[in-house]
């Protein structure tokens, strides 16, 4: 059974772009993988701020989650701390039903060749291991 959050919606992306005063026509220029290609790491704080606003919908959070993780990936390893990554992952974890696909995608659980991993993969994997241990204690 497909989750309503398996894929981010283009409609929610348009709303996010509008709320962030970003060029909405960018979405038309990118036929696929826009949820990663539209991410601009210089806007990471804007994505987080919008994510945390009470009026942000779950569908908008789904889009913003993609933007956040892709931005973190783009900023690793030199320009962002592991603690900042962990803080962002914890924010998304609080809405893990919305972001389950992203956690699965970026953790690359079935990939064993380190050359095929994203830069953020080991941080996501470590975060998930910690969460699994923490959740089992609750």
Residue 2 domain flag? no
Average pLDDT, the chain: 89
Q: Which residues have CB under 8 Å from 11's CB, separation 6+?
A: 59
Between CA 64 and CA 44 the distance in angstroms is 9
Between CA 97 and CA 3 the distance in angstroms is 9
Domain that holds residue 27: 10-137
Residue 108 domain flag? yes
Between CA 101 and CA 112 the distance in angstroms is 19
Residue 121 domain flag? yes
Residue 82 domain flag? yes
Q: How many structural domains compose the chain?
A: 1
Q: Residue with structure tokens 């962030």?
A: 20
Q: What is the pLDDT of residues 12-60, one digit of tens each?
A: 999 999 999 988 777 777 767 888 889 999 999 999 999 999 999 999 9
pLDDT over threshold 60, residue 137: no
Tell me the DSSP string of 77-111. Answer: TTSS-HHHHHHHHHHHHTTHHHHHHHHHHHHTTT-
Q: pTM value?
A: 0.89
């Amino acid at each position: 059974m497909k989750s309503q959050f398996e894929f981010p919606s283009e409609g929610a992306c348009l709303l996010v772009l509008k709320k962030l005063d970003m060029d909405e026509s960018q979405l038309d220029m990118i036929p696929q993988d826009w949820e990663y290609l539209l991410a601009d790491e210089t806007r990471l704080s804007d994505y987080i701020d919008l994510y945390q606003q009470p009026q942000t919908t779950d569908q908008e959070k789904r889009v913003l989650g993609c933007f956040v993780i892709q931005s973190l990936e783009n900023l690793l390893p030199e320009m962002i701390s592991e603690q900042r990554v962990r803080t962002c992952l914890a924010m998304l974890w609080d809405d893990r039903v919305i972001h389950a696909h992203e956690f699965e995608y970026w953790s690359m659980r079935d990939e064993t060749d380190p050359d095929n991993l994203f830069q953020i993969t080991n941080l996501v994997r470590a975060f998930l291991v910690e969460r699994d241990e923490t959740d089992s204690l609750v």
